[in-house]
C-alpha cells in the first residue's frame, strides 16, 4: 500500500507511491495517483472506520508465501466476500525476488525491514503526499498503526 527514497522505475524517478501503476483484480490498469491526498495503508480492518476521513486501503494478493493464494482473481474476489472486503484489490503480484512488482521493490528500499517481505499482511503506510512513513510486519495488528493513521489523517497537504 510509501517512501522517500527515489527509484528508477519505467524511466521515471519515483518519489512517492503515486508514481506507480498497478493492475486491479479485474485486469484494469490503475494509477496510484488517484489516491493523492489520502492516507494509504495496505490493510482492511481500519477501512470503514477512517474511509470518510481519507484513509485508503489497497490489497495486493500474493502467492509467494506457502502457496496461501493459489486462487485466480475471480476466486479471490469470491473468497473475500465472506470478510465484507470493500477496498480495492490488485491482481496477484510478487513482492520478493527479481520479478517483484516495482512498487514493492521501491517500498522495501524506502523503509527497510527484515530484508524481503516475510509473509502476507506486511503493511506499508503513506501520508497524503504519497511518502511512506511506516512498515508494519504481519504480526503487528491494526491497532499498532491506528495512532499513526490518525496523525496522518489530521495533516493537510
What CATH number is associated with residue 17? 3.40.30.10
Question: Would you say residue 53 lies in a domain?
Answer: yes
Which DSSP letter does residue 3 get?
-
40-46 average pLDDT score: 63
Residue 118 has pLDDT above 90, yes or no: no
Instruction: Write out pLDDT tens, residues 83-95.
Output: 788 889 999 999 9
Q: How many domains does the chain have?
A: 1
Question: Which residue range forms the structural domain that includes residue 103?
Answer: 7-152
Structure confidence at residue 27 (pLDDT): 93
Other Cβ atoms less than 10 A from the Cβ of 66: the count is: 8
Instruction: Write out pLDDT tens, residues 1-14.
Output: 222 222 333 334 67
- Owner of C-alpha cell 524506502: 110
Dig out the grid coordinates for 27 from the structure: 485486469
6-35 average pLDDT score: 76
Question: Would you say residue 13 lies in a domain?
Answer: yes
Q: What are phi and psi of 24, to 5 degrees?
A: -75, 175
pLDDT band at residue 102, thresholds of 50, 70 and 90? very high
Question: Would you say residue 132 lies in a domain?
Answer: yes
Residue 153 has pLDDT above 80, yes or no: yes
Question: Would you say residue 2 lies in a domain?
Answer: no
Question: Would you say residue 89 lies in a domain?
Answer: yes
- Cα–Cα distance between 79 and 75 in angstroms, integer? 6
Q: What are phi and psi of 76, to 5 degrees?
A: -65, -45
Question: Would you say residue 90 lies in a domain?
Answer: yes
| Nearest one of 35, 60, 58, 39 to 50, comparing CA atoms | 39
- Cα–Cα distance between 142 and 157 in angstroms, integer? 24
Please state, in angstroms and as integers, the Cα–Cα distance from residue 27 to each residue in 58, 60, 63, 91, following that order: 15, 13, 17, 7
Question: Would you say residue 157 lies in a domain?
Answer: no
Question: Would you say residue 52 lies in a domain?
Answer: yes
Longest dimension (CA), the chain: 41
Amino acid at each position: 500500500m510509501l517512501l522517500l527514497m527515489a527509484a528508477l522505475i519505467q524511466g521515471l524517478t519515483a518519489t512517492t507511491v503515486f508514481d506507480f501503476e498497478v493492475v486491479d483484480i479485474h485486469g484494469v490498469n490503475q494509477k496510484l495517483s488517484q489516491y493523492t491526498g489520502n492516507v494509504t495503508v495496505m490493510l482492511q480492518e481500519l477501512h470503514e472506520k477512517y474511509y470518510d476521513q481519507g484513509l485508503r486501503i489497497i490489497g495486493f494478493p500474493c502467492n509467494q508465501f506457502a502457496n496461501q493464494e493459489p486462487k485466480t482473481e475471480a476466486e479471490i474476489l469470491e473468497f473475500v466476500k465472506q470478510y465484507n472486503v470493500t477496498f480495492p484489490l490488485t491482481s496477484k503480484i510478487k513482492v520478493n525476488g527479481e520479478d517483484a512488482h516495482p512498487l514493492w521493490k521501491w517500498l522495501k528500499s524506502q523503509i527497510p525491514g527484515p530484508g524481503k517481505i516475510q509473509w502476507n499482511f506486511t503493511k506499508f503506510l503513506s501520508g497524503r503526499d504519497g511518502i511512506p512513513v511506516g512498515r508494519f510486519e504481519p504480526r503487528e495488528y491494526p491497532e499498532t498503526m491506528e495512532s499513526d493513521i490518525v496523525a496522518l489523517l489530521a495533516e493537510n497537504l
